[in-house]
Amino acid sequence: MAAGLAGLLMAAALHAAPSCTISSTAVNFGNYNPLNVASVTGTGTLSFQCQPGITGGGISYTISLSSGSGTYVQRTLTSGGNVLNYNLYTDSTLTTVWGDGSSGSTTVSTTVSRPRARAGVTNTVYGNIPAQQDVIPGSYTDTITVTVTF
């Protein structure tokens, strides 16, 4: 009976949640010119680094993003009552909306090795503001909640 209990406790220790630090840099689009015929793009990062103690073959994670003040179909930056449409993507071709898996959006999921998780993992967030939106000058912002599940 004691050997069975020791085996059970060891198995539980192997599946303990990692101790990770998560950080981000905002997507910065710079200045938006409503007369420009080209869309404006920008990038940000979501990073994490896990402390020693990760066991097994590595660490699996999923990153999801909230819709902010808009929807996954069209996120919105706001300045007072003024709105500027934009969206966030998992890829530089701006084809896959990064969200929570609902409304046509997707999450980012993968498994990384123990050494890579300890060294740090960075994921790029790609942003795009469509061209020629009729907006007034101002500082436009949105808040996105990032959820990392290990």
Which range of 4-8, 36-40, 57-61, 96-100 scores highest in mean pLDDT? It is: 96-100
**Domain boundaries along the sequence of the chain:** 2-149
Query: Which CATH number does 2-149 carry?
Result: 2.60.40.1090
Which residue, among 120, 33, 133, has the nearest Cα to 87 in the 3D structure?
A: 133
Instruction: Answer whether residue 24 shows pLDDT above 60.
Output: yes
Instruction: Answer whether residue 57 shows pLDDT above 80.
Output: no
What distance in Å separates the CA atoms of residue 70 and residue 134, rounded to the nearest whole number?
18
Residue 92: burial class (beta carbons within 10 Å; 0-12, 13-18, 19+):
exposed
Instruction: Answer whether residue 8 shows pLDDT above 50.
Output: no
Q: What is the pLDDT of residues 63-99, one digit of tens each?
A: 999 999 999 999 999 999 999 999 999 999 999 999 9
pTM assigned to the model: 0.84
Instruction: Answer whether residue 2 shows pLDDT above 90.
Output: no
Strand order in the sheet with 108-112: 108-112, 59-65, 146-149
Please give the pLDDT value at position 18: 61
CB atoms closer than 10 angstroms to residue 112: 19
Instruction: Answer whether residue 54 shows pLDDT above 80.
Output: no
